[in-house]
Amino acid sequence: MLSQQELELIKEYIGREPTYEEVLIFDALWSEHASYKSSKIHLKKLPTSADYVLAGPGENAGVIRLSDGTRVAFKIESHNHPSYIEPYSGAATGVGGIIRDILCLGARPIALADFICFGELKSPKMKYLFERVVEGISDYGNSVGVPVVRGQTLFYKFFEHNILVNVACIGVIPDDSEIISSFPKRKGAIIYVGAKTGRDGIGGASMASKSFRASKGRDETSAVQIGDPFAEKCLIEAVLETASKVQLIAMQDMGAAGFLNSTTEVASKGKFGAKIDVSKVPKRQPLEPIEVLLSESQERMLIVADPQDFQKIKQIFERWGLECEIVGELTDTGKYEVFDGEKLIFSLPLDILIDKAPVYDRTQKKPDWINSIQEIKFEKFPFPSDPAEVFIKVISSPLFSSKRFVFEQYDWGVLGQTCSAPGYDSAVIKLHSFKKFDEYGEEKNIALAFSIDGNPLYCFSDPYIGTQLTILESFRNLTCVGAKPLAITNNLNLGNPENPEVMWELVNVIEGMAKVLQDMKIPVVSGNVSLYNETEGVSIPPTPVIGAVGEIFPFSEPIKPYFDPGCFVIALGEIFPQIASSLYLYLSFGNFGGKLQVPNIELEKRVSDFIQRMARKGIINSCHDVSDGGIVPAVFESAVFGIYQGKDVVGVKLKKVFIKDESRWDFFIFSECYPLYIISVKRDRLEEFISECAKSKIPYQVIGETVDEDIFEVEGLFSLKISELRNMWEGALAKEVL
């Protein structure tokens, strides 16, 4: 919704009162979703370059070059508002949209990942939203043939009225193809390709740039798009075939604000004008010109090409059953001119639509409650009387328990490249279509690792440190499979930026991100900002979601996350009582807060490098990092994770040596300290492992062993049957929903 100040600015720019249609155009292009007017000046603080970055922010997706030369495109986007209003279509079209962002660069989509966050599963509505979002992601991804290989599913009370649906996509650019830019370097014909335009999705960008009212968005249903994954599959093949046969000038997805945004954006990026004829746009039904411009119908893209190549392009798209029409051209006028046949609808200078859109340095105010949250003393919380009872409560919570109920609905193995189950730390994708050979002719495969993470509790209590820890958690997940972290994509989910407290959160999230990425020397190459996640003045916690990409080269197989019998269990890294904003604190006392410890970046890097070296030497048998839930729940996961690969659960006996203060054993059992990894090493490799730790000055502690028994034991605290714990952990989420 345009402010009065913005309306006055429009009048100043055009020298008159804008027409109704012009107001709608400015409303879409100047929306937060399209213009980033509240975040743009702060996002410039992020590091975005490295010698292996081939395309960064500003393009449809980021592109990096792997060690063997393979070019990988990736990005994450949000579909929060649409998914709350209409969960199935909102989530499904979120998948379709992010696939097209990758496709725009000439990359074949090979993997999807999701981060979905809901309120607690107590109400029928939240169960409905959860089930329909998962179904929407599943149906679209499965139908289009792109596997969902990784995800995170959370349930916190803070998301009762604003759920989060973030989806990432990864693609690979064929070796014999060029990266297709969205910045045209010369003029050309503007070509519409894909499905026909309908009335669905009109006003989507504007809807995503405002808070929900008490109606909870019911009056916005028409702004939600409807997807067709089978048309998307045809679009993927048609675009990639075209890119292999025609030298395209530019390409752009029709996403937020649809045809209007894609045509103005391409023209603006090339410093051109654009002349458009909406009568040439393929339509499902009669539409007014403004409806054609603002529709966000799915499975549509924009190509800029030389006019003489049009017939060749049209033949390809018609063979795939898709529309292909010239709908305009880039010009030297600097104007955005829209015609309906011979009739001029409007003509506006392009720079006032894009370049002169308002950019705000909004007021910031540190929330009054932040200090009180951070000063919470854990000692005031009651000491748990039954260690077994509280442990079971944690592992059987939907926040911690197995997400098999979710990922078994996804065809995560399609394409045959996925080397890890979605429930593990990172997805591992073998790029077997891009095999390379060394100088001796020996095959050297490469694998891509991808992790997606968010932590609302950490970022609520301290957005600056919490964001750093979220990023480091993503890097640890890559380390767990033996991958070297290379770059990230991010999705910043927050409330209303016009609220100074939310703006303070946003700036601290960005500055915390900038700090850790600069220290780690890792760039962010793409991303999205989703603001106005608020209902009736109540915002969500700041929830930056991080998609981290790494490589394993040369690749044979990833480090597994699950134990084998007959191994020593080792805590590798730092052990200290980190209960601040922990899952244990939230589940046991309904509380969060406390002071998060500043991460030790130097140790993070050393431990990560060490694990990668040990993996190459074959010394490590398994690896899993400590995160949500803490130390002993992480050990438990390593004992049961093998079931995803058809293995049996493994018994574990832990010594209490890692509990530094037995008077508050809970502070260590459930400590989410960092960096800390749970490693298993076979008996005959322990001495070698210890020697390597000493040489590299890596802290470690042998805390137990794995056994071929039905037991999960922590010395002096509890001894339970691992088979019974496995059943509780595996069935907890389905029990809540069904």
The pLDDT value given to residue 443: 62
Tally of CA atoms within 13 A in the half-sphere of 578 that contains its CB: 22
The pLDDT value given to residue 219: 47
**Looking at the domain that runs over 1-30+180-357, which CATH code has it been given?**
3.90.650.10
Rounded to the nearest 5°, which phi and psi values hold at 713?
-130, 135
The pLDDT value given to residue 436: 56
Beta strands in 227-362 (DSSP E): 250-253, 273-277, 300-305, 323-331, 335-340, 343-349
Q: What angle do CA 249, 250, 251 make, to 5 degrees?
A: 145
CA distance linking residue 335 with residue 566, whole number of Å: 72
Cis check: omega of the bond before 699, within 30 degrees of 0: no
At residue 285, the 3 state secondary structure works out as coil
**Alpha helix segments (H runs only) across 59-165:** 80-85, 87-103, 124-144
CA distance linking residue 126 with residue 207, whole number of Å: 21
The pLDDT value given to residue 176: 84
Separation of first and last alpha carbons in the chain:
40
Residue 153 host element (H or E): strand 148-155
Q: Is the Cβ–Cβ distance between 323 and 196 less than 8 Å?
A: yes
Catalytic residue positions? 33, 79
DSSP class per residue in 666-704: HHHHT---SSEEEEEEEGGGHHHHHHHHHHHT--EEEEE
Tally of CA atoms within 13 A in the half-sphere of 211 that contains its CB: 16
CA distance linking residue 448 with residue 168, whole number of Å: 14
Which phi-psi region, left, alpha or beta, contains residue 527 (left: φ > 0; alpha: ψ -120 to 50)? left
**Start and end residues for every CATH 3.90.650.10 domain found in the chain:** 1-30+180-357, 365-401+560-738
Helix axes 20-29, 4-14, angle to 10 degrees: 110
| CATH architecture type of domain 365-401+560-738 | Alpha-Beta Complex (3.90)
Please state, in angstroms and as integers, the Cα–Cα distance from residue 526 to each residue in 30, 182, 239, 631, following that order: 21, 14, 22, 33
- The series of mean pLDDT values per 10 residues for the chain, 738 residues long, is 93 95 95 94 98 96 95 97 94 96 97 97 95 97 95 96 97 93 98 94 57 51 78 98 97 91 97 97 95 95 98 98 98 97 96 96 95 86 91 97 95 89 91 56 82 97 98 98 97 97 98 98 97 93 98 92 97 96 94 93 98 95 97 98 94 97 94 98 97 97 98 97 97 92
CA distance linking residue 604 with residue 676, whole number of Å: 9
pTM of the model: 0.95
Beta strands in 494-535 (DSSP E): 524-530, 534-535
Q: Considering only CA atoms, which of 159, 147, 151, 138 is closest in space to residue 108?
A: 147
Give the tokens for residue 387.
Answer: 């260690």
